[in-house]
Amino acid sequence: MTPPLAEEADRIAEASESLAAVSSCLPYTILAKRADFLRAAQARRQGTQGFLLQARRRDDGSEAVRVGFTCSKKIGNAVARNRTKRRLREVVRAVLPALAQPGWDYVVIGKPGVTIDRDFVALKADLATALRQVHSPRPPKAAK
């Protein structure tokens, strides 16, 4: 299904061009502490074909956006894991400033055999879709 992917890529390109000033206003920092990764693992998740996105609202009064990247040894050796993380960092750098919400933590987890081989435009479209899903309102849970 190439046409929807191409349309999504065009929308992302237009958004990143038109929101160049916003990207400088909404910088993100990198998560480094294990506790932050564990808290994000207990929050919202959105799987895509290229990776898994975990996101949580911090509620600490800070408007900063924080991002973490992780890849398990299932990805491969250190070279493969580092390549995967480099691709994920570039995808986040291109898409996140336009779609991130202030005060949220995001963790992007690479998938074995997919993140390295997936087309870069498709990875950007995956992240845009995942962010929209994470930030869309959830339907109320039905009473049992």
Give pLDDT tens digits for 122-138: 999 999 999 999 998 87
Q: How large is the average pLDDT for residues 6-32?
A: 61
CATH node for 2-135: 3.30.230.10
pLDDT tens for residues 37-67?
Answer: 999 999 999 999 999 999 999 888 888 999 9
pTM, whole model, 2 decimals?
0.76
Q: Which two tokens stand for residue 113?
A: 């055999």
- Write down the mean pLDDT value for the chain: 85
Look at residues 93, 82, 99 and name the one whose alpha carbon lies nearest to residue 11.
Answer: 99
User: Where do the domains of the chain lie?
Assistant: 2-135
